[in-house]
Amino acid sequence: MLLPKFHYHEPKTLDEACQIMENLGAMARPIAGGTDLLVNMKQGLISPQNLVSLQRIEELAGMDLSGGMLRIKACQTVSELAKSAEICSSLNALNLGASALGSPLIRNLATVGGNLVSARPAADLPPPLMAHGAKVILKSVSGERTLSLDSFFLGPGQTAMKTDEIMAEVLIEQPKASSGSGYLKLGVRKALEISIVNVASYLELDEGHKSIRLARIVLGAVAPTPMRAFSAEEMLMGEKPDEKLFYKAGQAASKESQPIDDLRGSADYRRDMVSVLTQRTLAMALANALTRGGAH
């Protein structure tokens, strides 16, 4: 299980990195934390001729909140996300997702960008980020483009990124005070687990907390990519949030999911669990919204 040979590049700036990707294209893979890439290389699944390290590029580190927009740089580690007071107070689902990813040893290496570009159907960060309506900024020598995460994932390991592009940032609009979110991951153990099903929900309430203004529900590990449960979302909008409604939304999400049978669980079991996790994350999102709304 030694790593195959490759040429190593260590650009200091994003422009330099983009130039290398422009020149090498499909012969190169960017490496950040390496927790997914190096495992795949050791297993012989891929053997890129070139690795382009992004970890010494200062522009890709850290995060900031300005103009109502949270910008998480692509190389921010998952442990920094899980520790962030900003994320903890306003992006509950993302805090929970980051805290559930891998193990503490993995979280100290793994990055937000890496968890997105590896595009595993059961990954922990895509559902929370999609539930919060996140977008990503992709850079190349020809410029940059902003893409909603809804249209980013194309299949297991497949994304809308071109071979010369590098993910620079994840953008999230600062959620309104009357909003909340929740995330649950179903697995057989608490650490180093690939989800059987994972679900993130986001709810935005009207001023008096009487009805739901906006809902997003994202299901993981039940389709080739993380998926929005649109019919369940529609069922919630404009309605009074309560357990009965959340139960019906869970049923709708379950019908929409397209799980397969595999060694982690059967399709039937996954469908049932989509319903349960949807219902529970909606309840978490509501409780989170009421707590956050009450503080203002």
Partner 1 sequence: MDNKITLTINSKVYEIRVESNQTLSEVLRDQLRLTGTKVGCNMGDCGACAVIMDGKPVNACLVLAVQANGREILTVEGLADERDLHPLQRAFLEKGAVQCGFCTPGMLLSAKGLLDQNPTPSEEEIKMAISGNLCRCTGYVKIIEAIKSASETYPL
Q: Which residues bind partner 1 (CB under 8 A)?
A: 1-8, 10, 31, 33-35, 38-39, 42-43, 51, 53, 55, 79, 102-106, 108-109, 190-192
Q: Which is nearer to partner 1, 37 or 212 (CB)?
A: 37
Nearer to partner 1, 1 or 295 (CB): 1
Q: Which is nearer to partner 1, 78 or 136 (CB)?
A: 78
CB of 285 within 8 A of CB of 241? no
Q: How far is the CB of 273 from partner 1 (least distance, A)?
A: 23
CB of 77 to partner 1, least distance (A): 8
Distance in Å, CB of 263 to partner 1, minimum: 16
CB of 53 to partner 1, least distance (A): 6
**Least CB distance to partner 1 at residue 34 (A):** 5
Q: Closest distance between partner 1 and the C-beta of residue 43, in Å?
A: 8
> The tokens of 16 are what?
């330099």
